[in-house]
Amino acid sequence: MILTFVNKEHWMILFSHIPKTAGTTIKYILRNNLGTKHIDSNKTKKSPFLQADLEFAQKIFRNPIAISGHNLVNPLFHLKVENPQLISILRNPVHRCASHYQDLVMRNNLKTSFPEWIQIEDNQNLSVKTIAGSDDLKYAKTLLLEKYSFVGITEHFEDSLKLLKLSIKPDLDIRYRNMIVAPDNTVKNRLLSDKESLNLLRKYNELDEQLYNFALEFVFIRKLEEHRGQIEKIHFPKVARNKREERKLRQSKRFNDYYYRQLIKIFR
């Protein structure tokens, strides 16, 4: 089944994508369900994604249903959306941060040493900053508990997808492919096994650690247990895909890459 939305509902999914949390796979699912009704906010190449950016995108996309991006920072503050459905996924902060650095080294050819990189403020407590727009841990917890429709946990990924289906739309197709999988974890493993690097990872992700533990215990597990009966009835589908799903996915990518991004370059 492909997602069917009733226009009169006037609601929009806002996916705050924290790097290296399997969020690209979540975006894959949204693209595969929504096609050209999915906006990739990263195409603006700026952060945060603001109301002016949304209004520009709405002129290009017809009745968009979802926005995904690393730059959706505290979207409730920056965007005026009727009945927003906020979603995000968190990962163990030490492992997330180590994977983030590894990804920059391997895919972006980053030359900065890890001790130098981790002491840059933008690389510290990224989960809290994405959710709250600052290092306000209390506010981030409140948002996850009271405002978010879905909070997933990377270490419980398939249960997270079932919960996403239950929380957002019963006919959400949650079949997926693993996206951006590191071919070599040497860099990450070296950081995690080195005492000095591990201490730095913990020191500069202390707030994220508290947010992760809170989200796991008081948001994710509680909601999972509350809906355990319904969750158990959701059978995880096979990974095999059909042409109709691939068409939606290709449409979304092409529209965002070759139309939306080019118009941003021209007009903004």
pLDDT single digits (tens) 191-233 = 999 999 999 999 999 999 999 999 999 999 999 999 999 999 9
Percent of all residues in the chain with a pLDDT value above 90, rounded to a whole number? 85
In this model, does residue 239 exceed pLDDT 70? no
In this model, does residue 87 exceed pLDDT 90? yes
Ramachandran class of 109: left when φ > 0, alpha when ψ lies in -120 to 50, beta otherwise: left
Short-list 63, 51, 88, 74, CA closest to 11: 63
Give the HSE-up count for residue 225: Cα atoms under 13 Å, Cβ half-sphere.
7
pLDDT digit string, tens, across residues 97-150: 999 999 999 999 999 999 999 999 999 999 999 999 999 999 999 999 999 999
In this model, does residue 61 exceed pLDDT 90? yes
pLDDT tier, 268 (very low <50, low <70, confident <90, very high otherwise): confident
